[in-house]
């Protein structure tokens, strides 16, 4: 009996020690935890510190994009503070009020043939800009951070078309429009089940459903507009006189007025943007939105390049405003580094897999499934221009909502360097049994190893 007690005490001590040690932060990322999808000859990814050294006269520009669930502004302040402290920077200026993205259009939600005009407020996404400076030179910005909040429209759509009828946290009489005379289920929902449904489904997985759907195109455009704002600031600081006003959509096509020659003007602007040190820090669903923006710019750029190859040369005046703009934005993000935390790209790309190239049996000429194109019709499919953008994905294996970058992304040839990095975010853990999934999903900014990697960069292991 005494021996059994000693064994039990030993097991408890070991378990408690392991539990406590699991709450201790991870300070460094080991080379074994860095797993590139080898599609390039890159051997390392530079962090913010090297970018600052490489750009002594110009600031680094950073876009921060949140993911699912996040709905409050200033969500990135903790991350910004930790990065700045590691770099020895201090806050220069933080804009008190956000910039509301001016879309330049309204829209009406439809379901089939039925419009729902006036049912929801078409809320604008918000951008909050902060600058960080070196204490020895307070007049020179070193980091300029643009925090995007795209949640307002998402939550309007979600609450009125979904949560009003499912969430117990919303009072339908106060917050929901009367779409019909139907009454909501009044059965009692237990506390735990209600909390799980609200937190995981209503406030969680409903978000990617919106992003994958047609209304997601509005949010993708908001991200593109934010990147345009960053490019506009960059060009303005380099002497370009862009004619912008607060109540107009971001437009870079006016850069062609900077020089007598339109072509020279665009080339100069593209060079300025290419040399700009640009980073993106995305979380969860935000990574998917950013990649969509990058692919959109790449698609337009490829169409322009294809036309140039066909005509041997093309004057800038022959390009549309959209083509000029998307091409310039591609120049800004083509060499960008994207640090993604808890990304959901692998999961959401399942909704993008297409079934094409139907090959009928029995020598039939047409595909029996009228929704598919024949194989001969897809052999010449347009492929976006390959990008040099670097994507670094930080994932905690115990994160239920985070996924590794899948190997097939490298096979598409559409991306630059792709790297999976294993992290262990601090959080309550029962050894071998359970780890707080919330901490695993959102704890990257509190993980010293992640902050170190963003600042100092990472070196790939030998192949």
Mean pLDDT of the region 40-55: 92
Instruction: Give the per-residue pLDDT at 4.
Output: 53
Q: What are 69-78's pLDDT values in tens digits?
A: 999 999 999 9
pLDDT by residue (tens digit) across 94-145?
998 999 999 999 999 999 999 988 888 899 999 999 999 999 999 999 999 9
Mean pLDDT of 39-58: 91
Higher confidence at residue 245 or residue 166? 166
Selected residue with higher pLDDT from 384 and 60: 60
Query: Between these two residues, 264 and 329, which has the higher pLDDT value?
Result: 329
**Which has the higher per-residue pLDDT, 20 or 125?**
125
Q: Report the pLDDT averaged over residues 402-431.
A: 90
Mean pLDDT throughout 425-438? 91
19 band by pLDDT with thresholds 50, 70 and 90: very low
Question: What is the average pLDDT across 35-41?
Answer: 78
Written in H, E and C, the secondary structure of the chain is: CHHHHHHHHHHHHHHHHHHHHHCCCCCCCCHHHEEEECCCCCCEECCHHHHHHHCCCCCEEEEEECCCCCCCCCCCHHHHHHHHHHHCCEEEEECCCCEECCCCCCCCCEECCEECCCCCCCCCCEEEEEEEEECCEEEEEEEEEEEEECHHHHHHHHHHHHHHHHCCCCCHHHHCCCCCCCCCCCCCCCHHHHHHHHHHHHHHHHHHHHHHCCCHHHHHHHHHHHHHHHHHHHHHHCCCCCCCCCCCCCCCHHHHHCCCCHHHHHHHHHHHHHHCCEEEEEECHHHHHHHHHHHHHHHHHHHHHHHHHHHCCCCHHHCCHHHHHHHHHHHHHCCCEEEEECCCHHHHHHHCCCCCCECCCCCCCCCCCCCCCEHHHCCCCCCCCCCCCEEEEEEECCCCCCCCCCCHHHHHCCCCCEEEEEECCCCCEECCCEECHHHHHHHHHHCHHHHHHHHHCEECCCC
Higher pLDDT, 173 or 17: 173
Mean pLDDT confidence for 1-6: 56
Which pLDDT score is estimated for 343? 93
Mean local confidence (pLDDT), 285-313:
80
Share of the chain above pLDDT 70, in %: 84
| Confidence check: pLDDT of 358 > 60 | yes
Region 37-42: mean pLDDT is 74
* Mean residue pLDDT across the chain: 86
């Amino acid at each position: 009996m005494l021996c059994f007690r000693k064994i039990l005490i030993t097991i408890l001590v070991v378990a408690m020690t392991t539990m406590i040690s699991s709450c201790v932060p991870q300070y460094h990322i080991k080379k074994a935890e860095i797993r590139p999808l080898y599609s390039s000859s890159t051997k390392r990814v530079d962090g913010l510190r090297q970018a600052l050294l490489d750009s002594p006269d110009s600031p680094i520009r950073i876009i921060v994009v949140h993911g699912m669930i996040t709905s409050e502004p200033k969500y990135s302040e903790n991350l910004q503070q930790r990065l700045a402290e590691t770099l020895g920077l201090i806050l220069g200026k933080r804009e008190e009020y956000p910039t509301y993205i001016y879309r330049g259009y309204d829209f009406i939600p439809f379901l089939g043939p039925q419009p729902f005009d006036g049912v929801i407020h078409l809320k604008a996404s918000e951008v909050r800009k902060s600058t960080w400076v070196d204490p020895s030179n307070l007049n020179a910005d070193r980091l300029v951070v643009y925090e995007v909040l795209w949640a307002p429209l998402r939550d309007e759509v979600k609450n009125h078309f979904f949560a009003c009828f499912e969430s117990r946290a919303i009072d339908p009489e106060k917050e929901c429009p009367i779409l019909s005379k139907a009454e909501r289920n009044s059965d009692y929902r237990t506390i735990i089940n209600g909390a799980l449904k609200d937190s995981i489904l209503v406030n969680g997985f409903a978000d990617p459903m919106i992003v994958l759907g047609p209304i997601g195109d509005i949010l993708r455009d908001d991200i593109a507009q934010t990147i345009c704002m960053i490019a506009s600031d960059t060009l303005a600081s380099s002497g370009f006189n862009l004619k912008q006003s607060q109540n107009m959509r971001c437009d870079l096509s006016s850069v062609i007025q900077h020089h007598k020659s339109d072509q020279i003007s665009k080339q100069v602007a593209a060079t300025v943007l290419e040399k700009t040190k640009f980073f993106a820090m995305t979380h969860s669903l935000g990574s998917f939105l950013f990649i969509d923006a990058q692919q959109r710019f790449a698609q337009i750029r490829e169409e322009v390049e294809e036309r140039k190859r066909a005509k041997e040369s093309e004057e800038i005046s022959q390009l549309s405003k959209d083509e000029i703009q998307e091409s310039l934005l591609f120049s800004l993000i083509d060499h960008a580094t994207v640090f993604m935390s808890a990304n959901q790209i692998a999961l959401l790309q399942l909704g993008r897999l297409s079934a094409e190239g139907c090959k009928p049996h029995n020598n039939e000429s047409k595909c029996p499934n009228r929704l598919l194109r024949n194989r001969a019709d897809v052999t010449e499919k347009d492929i976006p221009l390959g990008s040099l953008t670097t994507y670094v994905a930080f994932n905690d294996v115990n994160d239920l909502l985070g996924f590794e970058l899948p190997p097939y992304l490298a096979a598409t040839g559409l991306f630059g360097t792709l790297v999976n990095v294993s992290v262990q975010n601090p959080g309550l853990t029962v050894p071998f049994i359970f780890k707080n999934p919330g901490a695993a999903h959102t704890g990257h900014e509190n993980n010293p190893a992640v902050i170190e990697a963003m600042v100092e960069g990472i070196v790939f292991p030998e192949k």
